[in-house]
Amino acid sequence: MIPMVDLKRQYHILKSEIDAAIGDVLEQAQFILGPNVTRLEEEIAAYHGLPYAIGVANGTDALLLALRACGVGPGDEVITTPFTFIATAEVIALLNAIPVFVDICPNTFNIDCKQIADKITKKTKAIIPVHLFGHPANMDPIMKIAEKYNLKVIEDCAQAFGAIYNGRKVGTIGDVGCFSFFPSKNLAGYGDGGMVITKSAEIATQIKILRNHGSSVRYYHQAVGYNSRLDEIQAAIIRIKLKYIDQFNATRRENAAAYCNAINRNDVVLPSVASGCEHVYHQFTIRAKNRDQLAKALADKGIASAVYYPVPLHMQEIFVKMYNLSLKLPHSENCAQEVLSLPMFPELNKEEIELIADVINHAS
């Protein structure tokens, strides 16, 4: 059996460090906003070359709090991609704002920046580009549009920790960068966790207040906030993994190259990398017209695969009903019918990659 991600392999590699870090937290008995959260915030801020990083409970909350800190509220429009996990648009709806979906570029699966300007109205307040599967979105044109129309840019980096766009790490280009530490992510804890990074002192202050019940001084509340604090044990685990993230990302790129060398079907579209970008391959996602047959062939050999994502957000029942949508976004819709993500994690070995490729190459 080859899983999509094998969390045990990485744990056994880092076991002594992780066990010691967890033991230290238990001994210190500071479980909420303790020293590991503070240090992780400092370390992630330094990694990105920004002054502020704020730990929150999960990646969804990172987006939600970032939107609120950027002033997004009822009736505002937020432009984003329909080809992503629902959290990206869910947080817009939770604030009674309106998600406005723009189709993707099928080669990167990311939002097509050439179509953004046509969707801007007087109600538009922000853009959320998603660095999907670990490939950076095309940020320079997005930032030019944002500057022209005075829009906030909130980068959804949930799948792209350490990815680079034209020499800059994702999350540092817009007003805010939002990360998830869900266990399957390329930088992950062993539970939920998230982080917001920003160069804005005002945004950082607002997120710190919002994550802690709207309070900066205990029992004195400036806003209606949330209980969204990064767990101390998760912070300790993520601090260990952060030391290895560049190494892990480099190994992911090596594994992706091995896949590309081994898969040799003309009817399979392999992932591409845009000029100036460093992909971190949170997912290795191919496209094929016979996607379902390939998935079955893999399953028959005990090999996992997954479809991210089978239904674009503009076609999800809840959003169709809420916003009376009847959009046609052909690239997103076509990709949803063709994408197949293969096992991808740093500990995946070359023999496993060769086996997976062989099954794909010979599937009928």
Q: Alpha-carbon distance 223 to 6, whole Å?
A: 41
Residue closest to 312 by CA, chosen among 58, 59, 91, 111: 111
Taking only Cα atoms into account, the Rg of the chain, rounded to an integer number of angstroms, comes to 20
Residues 162 and 77 placed together within one structural domain of the fold: yes
Identify the pLDDT of residue 364: 85
Tell me what the mean pLDDT of segment 108-127 comes to. 98
Phi and psi at 295, nearest 5°, equal -60, -40
Q: Alpha-carbon distance 252 to 244, whole Å?
A: 12
Identify the pLDDT of residue 5: 98
Binned at pLDDT 50, 70 and 90, residue 293 comes out as very high
Range of the domain at 324: 245-362
Residues 225 and 131 placed together within one structural domain of the fold: yes
Is the CB of residue 130 less than 8 Å from the CB of residue 174?
no
**Assigned domain for 1 exists:** no
Q: What angle do helix axes 245-262 and 232-242 make, rounded to 10 degrees?
A: 60
Identify the pLDDT of residue 1: 94
pLDDT at 183 over 90: yes
Identify the pLDDT of residue 97: 98
**Assigned domain for 249 exists:** yes
Domain end call among 242, 276, 297: 242
Residues 156 and 266 placed together within one structural domain of the fold: no
Residue found under tokens 């959290």: 87
pLDDT digits (tens, 9 = 90+) for 55-97: 999 999 999 999 999 999 999 999 999 999 999 999 999 999 9
Is the CB of residue 364 less than 8 Å from the CB of residue 271?
no
Strands (E), 57-175: 77-80, 98-101, 104-105, 110-111, 124-128, 152-156, 164-165, 168-169
Residues 207 and 271 placed together within one structural domain of the fold: no
Residues 238 and 249 placed together within one structural domain of the fold: no
Residues 91 and 146 placed together within one structural domain of the fold: yes
Domain end call among 177, 207, 242: 242
Residues 125 and 178 placed together within one structural domain of the fold: yes
pLDDT at 154 over 90: yes
**Residue % of the chain over a pLDDT of 70:** 100
Other C-beta atoms lying within 10 Å of the C-beta of residue 262: 16
CATH of the domain at 332: 3.90.1150.10
Residues 148 and 162 placed together within one structural domain of the fold: yes
**Assigned domain for 2 exists:** no
The burial of 266, by beta-carbon neighbours within 10 Å (0-12 exposed, 13-18 middle, 19 or more buried), is given as exposed
Residues 120 and 222 placed together within one structural domain of the fold: yes
Q: Which residues pair with 264 in a beta bridge?
A: none
**Residue % of the chain over a pLDDT of 90:** 100
CA-to-CA dists, residue 363 to 111, 301, 343, angstroms: 32, 11, 17
Q: Alpha-carbon distance 10 to 190, whole Å?
A: 11
- Report the domain count for the chain: 2
Tell me what the mean pLDDT of segment 11-22 comes to. 98
Identify the pLDDT of residue 281: 98
Is the CB of residue 194 less than 8 Å from the CB of residue 180?
yes
3-state DSSP assignment of residue 217: strand
CATH of the domain at 193: 3.40.640.10
Tell me what the mean pLDDT of segment 96-115 comes to. 98
Tell me the two tokens of residue 216.
Answer: 């900066």
Other C-beta atoms lying within 10 Å of the C-beta of residue 35: 14
Residues 268 and 182 placed together within one structural domain of the fold: no
pLDDT digits (tens, 9 = 90+) for 301-351: 999 999 999 999 999 999 999 999 999 999 999 999 999 999 999 999 999
pLDDT digits (tens, 9 = 90+) for 25-47: 999 999 999 999 999 999 999 99
Residues 268 and 222 placed together within one structural domain of the fold: no
Q: Which residues pair with 243 in a beta bridge?
A: none
Q: Where are the alpha helices (DSSP H) in the chain?
A: 7-28, 35-48, 59-69, 87-94, 139-149, 201-211, 232-242, 245-262, 291-300, 317-323, 330-338, 350-362
3-state DSSP assignment of residue 9: helix
Task: Tell me what the pLDDT averaged over the chain comes to.
Answer: 98
Q: Alpha-carbon distance 171 to 162, whole Å?
A: 9
Residue closest to 4 by CA, chosen among 303, 335, 357, 261: 303
Tell me the two tokens of residue 358.
Answer: 């062989």
Domain end call among 242, 264, 293: 242
Identify the pLDDT of residue 326: 95
**Assigned domain for 159 exists:** yes
Other C-beta atoms lying within 10 Å of the C-beta of residue 77: 19
Element of type H or E holding 54: strand 52-56
pLDDT at 216 over 90: yes
Residues 280 and 189 placed together within one structural domain of the fold: no
Identify the pLDDT of residue 95: 98
